[in-house]
Structure 1
Amino acid sequence: MAAKFELKKSKNDKFVFNLLAANGQVILTSEMYESRASALNGIEAVRKNAPNDGRFGRLSAKNGAPYFTLKAANGQVIGQSQMYSGAKARDAGIESVQAHAAEAGLDDQTAT
């Protein structure tokens, strides 16, 4: 399986997407969007910004767990990772997003 974006509709009728690695693991999750069109724009923003290492924030949660965010050119966060066991694992997650986001397909699960 190749990396892909999975677009879903939440129970409260908002839209969210995940970027899944080739092994099916979620490596990036979006914010909630009010419309499908906005979520699709978010996916394009991830594709556009993922190759730029400067767009990634390398952060730690209150409990010390490392994670990352991906920001658009305007500074808005367009995606966040899961919590990782260590900085090395987080950095591998960033590398995976950088390597796969631009070419990832779209699995649109919002069609009714």
Structure 2
Amino acid sequence: MGATFELYEDREGKYRWRLVHDNGNIIADSGEGYATRQKARQGIESVRANAPDAPLESLED
């Protein structure tokens, strides 16, 4: 099993990305629209580079 990044243009003409699991569930998304496709790709590359083995931090009281 794995996941795929999808890069798309939203209704407002902004570019967004989402990470979709093989089962169709959205695992993560850009949370914001980017002005250009290149900036959205840079967002994807940032996630790939900065969080490949990110630890889990519990924020419980």
TM-score (structure 2 length as normaliser): 0.78
Structure with more contact order per residue of length (Cα contacts < 8 Å, sep ≥ 6): 1
Within a 5 Å distance, the mapping from 1:1-112 to structure 2 comes to 2-30=2-30, 31-53=32-54
Distance 1:3 1:40 in 2: 16
Q: How many positions carry a matched residue from both structures?
A: 59
Larger helix percent:
1
Q: What RMSD over aligned residues (CA atoms) do the two structures have, in Å?
A: 2.3
Distance 1:7 1:23 in 2: 18
Task: List alignment gaps of at least 5 residues for structure 2.
Answer: none
Aligned-pair identity (%): 41
Distance 1:51 1:2 in 2: 14
Instruction: Report the CA distance between 1:41 and its aligned residue.
Output: 0.5
Say if 1:53 and 1:26 are closer, same or farther in 2 by CA, change over 3 A: same
TM-score (structure 1 length as normaliser): 0.45
Structure 1 runs, 4 residues or longer, greater than 4 Å off: 56-60
Task: List alignment gaps of at least 5 residues for structure 1.
Answer: 61-112
